[in-house]
Chains A and B, each alone.
Chain A
Amino acid sequence: MSQPNVKIYSLSTCSHCKATKKFLGECTIKYEFVDVDKLEGDERKAIIEDVKKFNPRCSFPTIIIGETVVVGYKEKEIKEALGME
């Protein structure tokens, strides 16, 4: 079974972001991520606008799993979106 595309909008400093990446790694889920705090200038602005479309409060991590948006490291919701439960 193919897994949905997973993208994480994260901060390099945030513990919940690190926990999310670690969890997905342990589940051998492939994911892309962007550490928004590492971006500068227009690139940062553009990505913040993207995050706001998914999560108007622009908090981290914002996790996109297929069509589902999960805000925060919520293991149960992540597993559900991945079809693991």
Chain B
Amino acid sequence: MTPQELYDRMKKVQEPKGYYFNKDKERAFELLEALIANRENYGYMGCPCRLLSGDRELDRDIFCPCVYSVPDIEEFGSCYCSLYVSKEWNEGKIPQEYVPERRPPEKMPY
């Protein structure tokens, strides 16, 4: 799969839910490439901004889009990686702040 194919596929699924790709396409495609690389290396599309354990069950919460992206986009307008963002974030209507790690430390298997 190419980054463009992944982009098109996820856009169709995520936009109706109110989650948009970062309008900085270079950033978005860099992350999509990383997701594809993670799938090749680990067998699943784990979050590119977190250290993956290699165990898909332990990392299930950080399969992209991760479970934390919903509250992060709600609170900050952006997921931890800034791959998925809200419309308002993309339009610059809310500040593009640093999104702190929401994944609880006990979920990190290292």
Choice from B27, B34, B50, B52 contacting A59 with Cβ under 8 Å: B50
Query: Within A8-63, which residues are at the interface with B (CB < 8 Å)?
Result: 11, 13-18, 36-37, 45, 48, 56-60
Please tell me if B85 contacts chain A, counting CB pairs below 8 Å. no
> Interface size bucket, B side?
20 to 34
Binds A, one of B9-17, B68-76, B86-94, B97-105: B97-105
Do B105 and A14 have beta carbons less than 8 Å apart?
no
Complex CA distance for A74 and B81, rounded to whole angstroms: 14
Interface size on A, residues (CB 8 A): 19
Specify the main secondary structure of chain A where it touches its partner: loop
Do A58 and B49 have beta carbons less than 8 Å apart?
no
Complex CA distance for A45 and B83, rounded to whole angstroms: 28
Mark A residues whose CB is within 8 Å of B.
Answer: 11, 13-18, 36-37, 45, 48, 56-60, 72-74
Q: 9 other contacts beyond A13-B48, A15-B81, A58-B51, with CB at 8 A cut-off?
A: A14-B49, A15-B83, A16-B82, A18-B30, A45-B110, A56-B105, A58-B108, A59-B101, A60-B51
Mark B residues whose CB is within 8 Å of A.
Answer: 27, 30-31, 34, 37-38, 48-52, 81-83, 98, 100-101, 105, 108, 110
